[in-house]
Structure 1
């Protein structure tokens, strides 16, 4: 018979993850703000740039989401001690949370997609340390999301796919890993080559939406994976 490990507040942890998924969904802020940036050429993180009217709200949402997932990762330690895949899942969640937390404290000075001067400064390496730090922390968060997707699949493999619901979450987790890896490779190639290879906007928005949904369904779908 399955039981939640002693000291693991499953319901609180689940609710924190669901709330984090909502807060991380900056597409909601973008829609509420009337789509201030071109969805094809901009990154959602540009909503937090200091020259944007949405900056405070975007960074507050990132801060809230990161704090919630970090607290959830800490609360899940009793379950993580029992199962290695759960430990990997929560470490990945913590990595994602740390990257997102740093993003909220190190925003870009300006939004490249909305400012010619900002694009030129970025192209000629005059964008300052803030953008470099932001790129590093965003990469950290991206690696965390890829790992979350992979470890979620490992947990599902251990507990069984659980019919339609389990298979659906497995596909969602795989989609999170693939889209974020694809986005990371594309942006990495752009940084190395110095050229804009493909407008990143739609791909990134799909990747972020998938992460938001996965954060919300992760614990409800994998409840048995957190039990002894």
Structure 2
């Protein structure tokens, strides 16, 4: 991974963690039964801070995607082929390039969807507003509300693809990256299932766990050694 991308991943991880302070600013929303997205509703106390942080994260993710795509032919070139399996050199290199393209595209989509989330938040907080909950159940909320749901789901799906790509690009020695990637994939999937199965009112905690898993994954990815133009791996360079 390039040094610039590593540093940007670290910055995104820090800024993306802004939601962790939201309960202090908006204690009315219960962490078990409310979506973290409800903090972003325009009239909530933490909305401005979190929407700004999300917008910055989204744009930085797009920058990382562009940097990664620009280095498709050299990025992670020296790594063995995906998921720890052995493969001939030519096949390994081709597989690596495909994985980097998936990584770049997924991060770009995740970034764009995150920016949309910041610009287009939920219109109300159903967990603390009976009127909002009733309108949501009846499907009478503005299109903006539904668009936010779609963009959030798209961001989650894109993060899963990026995590899968990081698995393919990691080596057996990159255990932290592998563990963080699998943890992220599983928790995001559980959050999606929990959102669909409304009989289990724990969508708030599973969503927050998946968001925390994304932060941990970004930190882990930021620790992947720098790859130089010759495809050899170097130890991370101190900032």
User: TM-score normalised by the shorter chain: which range applies?
Assistant: 0.7 to 0.9
RMSD over aligned Cα, in angstroms? 2.0
Q: Is the CA contact (8 Å cut-off) linking 2:176 and 2:220 kept in structure 1?
A: no
Distance 1:227 1:167 in 2: 24
CA 1:188–1:35 in 2, change beyond 3 Å: closer, same or farther?
same
Match of 1:161 in 2: 172
Q: Is the CA contact (8 Å cut-off) linking 2:167 and 2:181 kept in structure 1?
A: yes
Match of 2:143 in 1: 129
- TM-score where L is the length of structure 2: 0.80
> Of residues 33, 43, 48 in structure 2, which corresponds to 1:56?
48
Alignment of 1:70 onto 2:51: no
Distance 1:203 1:225 in 2: 38
Q: Structure 2 regions of 5+ residues with no counterpart? A: 75-96, 232-239
Distance 1:173 1:225 in 2: 24
Q: Structure 1 regions of 5+ residues with no counterpart? A: 5-9, 191-195
Distance 1:124 1:81 in 2: 51
Distance 1:173 1:94 in 2: 18
Which deviations, in whole Å up to 9, do the C-alpha atoms of 1:145-192 show, x marking residues without a partner? 111221111111xxx221xxx2122011001011111211232344xx
Match of 1:210 in 2: 213
Distance 1:154 1:76 in 2: 15
Match of 1:7 in 2: none
Distance 1:48 1:96 in 2: 18
Q: Is the CA contact (8 Å cut-off) linking 1:49 and 1:109 kept in structure 2?
A: yes
- TM-score where L is the length of structure 1: 0.84
Aligned residues: 209
Note the C-alpha offset of 1:22: 1.4
Task: Compare the two structures and name the one with the higher helix fraction.
Answer: 1
Distance 2:195 2:99 in 1: 29
Match of 2:166 in 1: 152
